[in-house]
Every structure is written in C-alpha cells, then in structure tokens.
Amino acid sequence: MASQDWFDKDFYKVLGVSKDVSESDLKKTYRKLARKYHPDSNPGDTAAEAKFKEISEAYSVLSDPEQRREYDELRAMGSGARFTASGSSGGGFEDVFSRFTTSRGSSADFDDIFSIFNQTRGGGFGTGRFGQPSGGFQGFGGPTKGQDLRANTTIDFVTAAKGETVTLQSGDGKPFKIKIPAGVADGQKIRLRGRGRPSPDGGDNGDIVVEVKVRPHPVFTRDGLNLRVAVPVTFTEAALGATIEVPTLDGDVVKLRVTPGTPSGRVLRVKGRGITSKNGTGDLLAEVQVVVPGHLTDAQREALERFHEVEPPENPRADLIARAKG
C-alpha cells in the first residue's frame, strides 16, 4: 500500500461502519460485503471486483488491532497531509514524520515510520502485517472461504417426492448424512454450509455441495410440482362417457369422470395429489389416451361397420389441413 493511501482512504467509510465498531461487528460486516462483491459471485464484473478489493483492503487493516491503532493515529494527525517530494508545495515526509514522532513519543524514529509503510520490506496490498501473508482472493486481502467438497447421489422417484435422510461420501472420502428435502428435483444441488474444508486463514469453512439425480418412474413424470400420468381409455368410454380409476403416487387410486365425447389428449386434473415441497403442492394431471383395439372378433367388426354407416359425416383432419395451408 502506498503511504498516501493511509490518508486518502477512509476504511471505516468503505465498510460502512463507525470508528468504534467492535471486532465481531466488523467481521460480520466484511463477510456480508465480501459475499456480495466476491468475483466468484460476479464473474466478469470489473466494478464488483474493484469493490471487493477495496473492502478487503480496508478489512485487512482494521481487523488487525495494531494496524488499526496506527491507522487511526495517522488519520488523526495527518489530515490534509500529502506525501510529495522534498521541497515541493504542500509539505513532505519530514512534516508527517515530525508530527508522528510527537504523537508517539521520543522513542519513535525513522525506522518505525518505514516499518509502518513497509518501504523497506516490499509489502503491499494483499498482505497481513505488511509483508506477512493473510490469504485472500488472488492476493486481494481478507480471510478466504474454505474449499467446497462435491458429492452426488441417485435416488428413486418416490424418495425424491417424499424426502429422506441418506448417508453419502464426500470427495475426500468422509461419510456424512444429508436430509433430502421432499420434492427435490432431478439435477438439483443441495448445499450444506460450513461442512466443507476449513479456511486457510480464519475465514468461513467451505460447503458440501450434493447433486441429486432422480431415477425415472415407470408411470409418473414431473411437471414442476405437478405429476403427469397417461391414462388409457377405450373408444366407447371416451365416446359414451365413463368413470375410471387413476393411480396416485401414494399407491391408492382416485376416480375420475370422463365426459361423453372426450378426445384423446384431454387432461383431467386432481387437485392436491402432485408433489409437495416447501414451495407448495401440485396437482395430478391425468392425460386421456384413447386406445384402439388391436384385434376384433367378427361380431365386433360388424358392429363397428354398422356404426360407421351412421356416424356423423365429419372429417377430423379438416381443420388440420386448413391450418397447414395458412
């Protein structure tokens, strides 16, 4: 850090805290800001990266009790000072050195001042006690979060719908338990905060991130929180109407009324029999599929031929052809 920065930058203002802020409140404020502006959370955002550097720089000074005391002393006695070459207007190093010596007593000398600004040690931004590493994002300073651990699990459809606690193994080989919430979807990731690797420099622990894969169900598919099921009906049931039984994910059946003249593809809705999660409960959507018999007896064929002679003279493809012509 250039020596002038100690006078030009108000680190308290950068973090939005008062000058008497406690260590715990300072840390809470920094972590909140760091999460907001961290480059990992704002990929490609140069403004956010610059802000992250600024708050990390401020925290690296104010979180160190000795650096904070020296910073406060310099700010108190150096207001308006400018570090310029000797002989130029506005004062020079001698002005500040003399005032700093006065404020700290006769024991202070030039070596003390140089150690503060680290002129002789080559320290700078991204270090702790000016020359001692303190971690941080790519040397930007401030405590870093520990490494995340990855894991994955494959569960069946019903388990995903109902939820369950399972034991898994993380990427480093250690077993751990995780509660699969009801309604988890295929590909969804569950984050266990603070269960990953520890921070190398006193920051938050990393997380365990578990990706969930859900096996397909032989009957049901998901549509958000709704469940879809294809329900076959006979030609006569669709034409004349009927009451049919439809399975549910719980294993029981519900009865639905198919109105006369129901076409294939019509969806019948059963309220509240879908997926239940923290976001609500979906419905069961039963899609009617008219099944054409593959084999007919002579009597059945004769009956259908007689029906064909008297059925309405409608072409079910007329609208399709008209729309295709535009």
Q: For the chain, what is the mean pLDDT?
A: 79
Which domains can be identified in the chain, with CATH numbers? 5-139 (1.10.287.110), 149-214 (2.60.260.20), 221-325 (2.60.260.20)
CA separation for the pair 153, 180 (Å, rounded):
10
- 83 versus 59: the higher-pLDDT residue is 59
Question: What is the mean predicted confidence (pLDDT) over 220-244?
Answer: 95
Most confident of 35-39, 116-120, 135-139, 261-265: 261-265
Contact of 71 with 117, CB cutoff 8 Å: no
Residues 176, 197, 156: CA angle, nearest 5 degrees: 35
pLDDT for 67 equals: 83
- 150 versus 284: the higher-pLDDT residue is 284
**Which of 211, 63, 203 has the alpha carbon at shortest distance from 147?**
203
CA separation for the pair 30, 51 (Å, rounded):
12
Percent of the chain at pLDDT above 70? 77
- 286 versus 106: the higher-pLDDT residue is 286
Burial class (CB in 10 A: 0-12, 13-18, 19+), 212: buried
For residue 295, the tally of other CB atoms under 10 A from its CB is 5
H helical segments located in 78-191: 93-104, 110-117, 157-162
CA separation for the pair 260, 233 (Å, rounded):
12
Q: Which two tokens stand for residue 112?
A: 């003390």
Model pTM? 0.54
Please name the residues in contact with 326: beta carbons below 8 A apart, sequence gap of 6 or more. none
CA separation for the pair 141, 276 (Å, rounded):
45
- At residue 96, does pLDDT exceed 80? no
CA separation for the pair 7, 21 (Å, rounded):
20
pLDDT for 118 equals: 41
pLDDT for 219 equals: 96
Residues 265, 267, 268: CA angle, nearest 5 degrees: 140
- At residue 104, does pLDDT exceed 80? no
pLDDT, tens digit, 9 for 90 and up, residues 282-322: 999 999 999 998 899 999 999 999 998 898 888 888 888 99
**Which of 223, 210, 213 has the alpha carbon at shortest distance from 159?**
213
- At residue 135, does pLDDT exceed 90? no
Q: Please report, for residues 6, 17, 133, 140, the alpha-carbon distance to residue 55 in angstroms, rounded to integers and kept in the order given.
A: 14, 12, 17, 9
**Which of 221, 234, 224, 229 has the alpha carbon at shortest distance from 264?**
234
pLDDT for 169 equals: 77
- At residue 84, does pLDDT exceed 50? no
- At residue 238, does pLDDT exceed 60? yes
pLDDT for 37 equals: 86
Question: What is the mean predicted confidence (pLDDT) over 19-31?
Answer: 89
Most confident of 116-125, 168-177, 216-225: 216-225
For residue 269, the tally of other CB atoms under 10 A from its CB is 12
DSSP H or E run through 281: strand 280-281
Type of residue found at 33: L
Q: Which of 43-47, 155-159, 189-193, 244-248 has the lowest mean pLDDT?
A: 43-47
- 55 versus 120: the higher-pLDDT residue is 55
Please name the residues in contact with 292: beta carbons below 8 A apart, sequence gap of 6 or more. 235
- At residue 249, does pLDDT exceed 90? yes
CA separation for the pair 29, 17 (Å, rounded):
8
